[in-house]
Amino acid sequence: AQSVTQLGSHVSVSEGALVLLRCNYSSSVPPYLFWYVQYPNQGLQLLLKYTTGATLVKGINGFEAEFKKSETSFHLTKPSAHMSDAAEYFCAVSESFSGGYNKLIFGAGTRLAVHP
Amino acid sequence: DAGITQSPRHKVTETGTPVTLRCHQTENHRYMYWYRQDPGHGLRLIHYSYGVKDTDKGEVSDGYSVSRSKTEDFLLTLESATSSQTSVYFCAISEAANSPLHFGNGTRLTVT
d(CA B17, CA B9): 18
Q: Which residues of B touch A9 (CB under 8 A)?
A: 40
What pLDDT is attached to residue A101? 55
Mean pLDDT of B44-48: 93
CB contact under 8 A, B42 and A106: yes
List of chain B residues whose C-beta atoms are within 8 Å of the C-beta of residue A105: 45
pLDDT for position A96:
62
Q: What is the DSSP letter of A70?
A: G
Residue A89 reports pLDDT greater than 90: yes
Specify the pLDDT at position A51.
Answer: 84
Indicate if the pLDDT at residue A99 is higher than 70.
Answer: no
pLDDT at A102: 65
CB contact under 8 Å between A44 and B90, yes or no, is yes
Mean pLDDT value across residues B42-71: 93
**What's the mean pLDDT in B56-71?**
95
Size of interface A-B (CB pairs under 8 A): 55
Confidence at A41, pLDDT banded by 50, 70, 90: confident
Confidence bin at A97 (pLDDT 50/70/90):
low
Yes or no, beta carbons of B101 and A44 under 8 Å apart: yes
Q: Is A44 in Cβ contact with B103 (below 8 Å)?
A: yes
Q: What average pLDDT does the segment B60-66 reach?
A: 96
Average pLDDT of the residues of chain B: 93
- Strand partners of residue B96: none
Please give the average per-residue pLDDT across B59-83, as a whole number. Answer: 96
How long is chain A? 116
Peptide bond into B8 cis (omega under 30): yes
CB A33 within 8 A of CB A24: no
Residues of A in contact with B104 (CB under 8 A): 43
